[in-house]
Amino acid sequence: MTARPFRPARGPRVGPVAEGRRSLLIATVSTIVVFGGIVIVVTNAPGWPAFQQAFLNGPIFWDSLPKVVGKFWTNVRLFLIAEVLILVFGLVLAVLRSLPGPVFFPVRLLATLYVDLFRALPGVLVIFMLGLGIPALRLQGVPTDEFFWAVVVLTLLYSAYVSEVYRAGIESVHPSQEAAARSLGLSRWQGLRYVVLPQAIRRVIPPLLNDFIGLQKDTVLVSFIGVVEIFRETQILQAAKFNFTPYLATALVFLVVTIPLARFTDYLLAREKNRRVSGVRVAAPSMQRGGQAAP
């Protein structure tokens, strides 16, 4: 008897393709209904004309956009310089906190205190206290430049968070990996450098990027200590024109920069998850490629 070809029980019309088209249609209609509804409610609000004038002014928007973009380079520079320093300093803190043994207790204690302190305080507060306080001391040889202090303060703040991300990564590497490295005669530092950290850092890249999305946005906080960056410029424009549209321009600038980074982070996370799942599959006995018997 010949085997009959497999037939879907629900009939030929409801294949995966038809199913996909139906979901797409439903999604489209429901999106139009929801967003159309919001637009109708908002544009019919009693304050809509005044709101349009104050926040959605076309000429002011086009006038302020190049100006805020120009100042945005200050944020970009802040971000890039601080990011490199944070990656290094955060790693140093994490490694210090991971040092074993009673000898390193004071080192661990100091690193822990640092991380606790800077995570406990509101960022704005730290920016005010350090950014205005230290230059006011007029210490010999200490710069008073606002940009310099902005970088310092962002680095101090974010290193505390980033060190915790690193530390989670270090602790996620199984102790047997360090044991294997040490059993080869590698020193503790070599084991960390060649075996533990490469694995740890690979695992924490997505959460690190997440923190950097936060940092990108928090660069506006240093406007409080006098750095004329995008947010300060926006306030200046708003005050000059007595109109809030420049804020819209600034918001758009951040969206354009931050959303791709957020999407990229999600993509990396999804890839990492896939890799883990397939990694498990490779390790499972049933999927192993049988090793040939040694002679």
**C-beta closer to another protein: residue 17 or 293:** 293
Minimum distance of another protein from residue 109's CB (angstroms): 24
Q: How far apart are CA 257 and CA 230, in angstroms?
A: 13
Question: Residue 100 interacts with another protein (CB under 8 A)?
Answer: no
Tell me the residue type at 195: V
Distance CA 65, CA 202 (A): 38
Question: Closest separation between CB of residue 86 and another protein, Å?
Answer: 24
Binding mask 231-270 for another protein (x = CB under 8 A): ----------------------------------------
Residue 246 and residue 234 in contact, taking contact as beta carbons nearer than 8 Å: yes
Site for another protein, residues 159 to 188, rule: CB under 8 A: 176-177, 179-187
Query: Judged by CB under 8 A, which stretch of 126-134, 144-152, 242-250, 281-289 contacts another protein?
Result: 281-289
Q: Which two tokens stand for residue 87?
A: 């990656």
CA geometry: angle at 146 spanning 238 and 257, to 5°? 55
CB of 184 to another protein, least distance (A): 4
102 binds another protein (CB under 8 A): no
Radius of gyration of the chain (CA): 27
Task: Give 202 or 263: the residue with its C-beta nearer to another protein.
Answer: 202
Q: What backbone phi and psi angles, to 5 degrees, belong to 99? A: -65, 125
- Is residue 62 classed as helix, strand or coil in its secondary structure? helix
- Residue 295 found at the interface with another protein (CB under 8 A): yes
What distance in Å separates the CA atoms of residue 207 and residue 266, rounded to the nearest whole number? 10
Pick 63 or 272: Cβ nearer another protein? 272
How far, CA to CA in Å, does 174 sit from each of 122, 169, 198, 216?
A: 34, 10, 13, 33
Stretch that binds another protein, among 6-14, 137-145, 258-266, 280-288 (CB under 8 A): 280-288
Residue 20 tokens read as: 């996909």
What are φ and ψ of residue 122, in 5° steps? -60, 140
Q: How far apart are CA 211 and CA 158, in angstroms?
A: 8
Query: By CB under 8 A, what part of segment 194-213 binds another protein?
Result: 194-195, 198-199, 202
The nearest distance, CB 90 to another protein, in angstroms, is 21
Compute the least distance from the CB of residue 269 to another protein, in Å: 19
10 or 289: CB nearest another protein: 289
Residue 282 as a binder of another protein (CB under 8 A): the answer is: yes
Residues that bind another protein (CB under 8 A): 176-177, 179-187, 190, 194-195, 198-199, 202, 279, 282-283, 285, 288-295
